[in-house]
Amino acid sequence: MIEISHVDKWYSSAFQVLKDCTTSVAKGEVVVVCGPSGSGKSTLIKCVNALEPFQKGDITVDGTKVNDPKTNLPKLRARVGMVFQHFELFPHLKIIDNLCLAQEKVLGRGHDKSVTKAMMLLDRVGLKEHAQKFPAQLSGGQQQRVAIARALAMDPIAMLFDEPTSALDPEMISEVLDVMVDLAREGMTMMVVTHEMGFARKVANRVIFMDRGEIVEDAPKDDFFGKPRSDRAQKFLSKILSH
């Protein structure tokens, strides 16, 4: 589904953020990407739907080459859902309109159909009664659930999560993770940047560990938690699992 091969990215000639990154996510697979901050994991996931440009290598999503200038990026992005660290709901639009905007403007869906779809998804994330509110009136956890629903409204073939819980207060993390776990169990193809190792243990097929722009480890979940091969991954795991 997602093929990343030999991707290099520089911010300036002196600073390389991604070094020869190669990996893939198969259909129905859940891949968790972790690593210390500044390791390039968020940058990598943003390259998948071309929010960040990269200089070398190729990324294909469902057979479409992301870095081909001829690719219709809006069309591609409409098929890949993304959830951001800071939710990025549109603060000037009601919850329901946040869910309908892209359905109507990008997919060309009728208003009634969009609303029906939106309400169905809001119900699914448990926020149906908040449809007429504005984003700022919701808690962080609720906003992130809305953001997931907004991405799902586009009927995506895959979902990208960029640290979806790291801006949340601790008591709100589980409500978001629950939605994500359900999604994974339904067979959604997911690429998730997160430090939530509990989530990884529960539903991930593979875990990727990144450090300083490189993919250091790319292993099935059980191998990764059982016996990570690299020092850096071991150190990282001991730091975040020690509490």
Partner 1 sequence: MLGNFDFDVIRRSLPYLFYEGMTFTLTLTALSALGGLIFGTAIALMRLSGYKTLGRIAGLYVDFMRSLPLVLVIFWFYFLVPYIGQWLTGASRPISVGAFASSLITFIMFEAAYFSEIMRAGIQSISRGQPAAANALGLTYAQTMRYVVLPQAFRNMLPVLLTQTIVLFQDTSLVYVLSIPDFLGAASKVAQRDGRLVEMYLFAAFVYFTISCVASFGVRRLQSRIAIIR
Cα–Cα dist 175/195, whole Å: 16
- Per-residue binder mask for partner 1 (CB under 8 A), 122-161, x = binder: --------------x----------x--xx--x-----x-
**Considering only residues 51, 120, 181, 197, which one is a binding residue for partner 1 as defined by CB under 8 A?**
51
Number of residues in contact with partner 1 under rule CB under 8 A: 32
Stretch near partner 1 under the rule CB under 8 A, chosen from 81-89, 116-124, 125-133, 197-205 = 81-89
Q: Does 102 bind partner 1 (CB under 8 A)?
A: yes
**Considering only residues 41, 77, 117, 206, which one is a binding residue for partner 1 as defined by CB under 8 A?**
77
Q: Quick one: DSSP state of residue 118?
A: H
Q: Residues near 91 by Cβ (< 8 Å), separated by ≥ 6?
A: 134, 135, 136
Q: At what angle do helices 95-105 and 111-124 cross, to 10 degrees?
A: 130
Q: Does 82 bind partner 1 (CB under 8 A)?
A: yes
For residues 9 and 77, which CB has a smaller minimum distance to partner 1 in the complex?
Answer: 77
What residues numbered 180-199 form the site for partner 1, per CB under 8 A? none
The sign of the torsion formed by the CA atoms of 173, 159, 59, 85 equals: negative
Residue 89 tokens read as: 């709901």
Cα–Cα dist 35/8, whole Å: 18
Q: Residues near 198 by Cβ (< 8 Å), separated by ≥ 6?
A: 177
Residue 138 tokens read as: 């919701």
Q: Does 11 bind partner 1 (CB under 8 A)?
A: no
**Considering only residues 5, 22, 27, 91, which one is a binding residue for partner 1 as defined by CB under 8 A?**
91
For residues 76 and 120, which CB has a smaller minimum distance to partner 1 in the complex?
Answer: 76
CA distances from 197 to 41, 78, 123, 139, 143 (A): 15, 29, 28, 24, 22
User: Where on the chain is the footprint of partner 1 (CB under 8 A)?
Assistant: 46, 49, 51, 73-82, 84-86, 88-92, 101-102, 105-107, 136, 147, 150-151, 154, 160
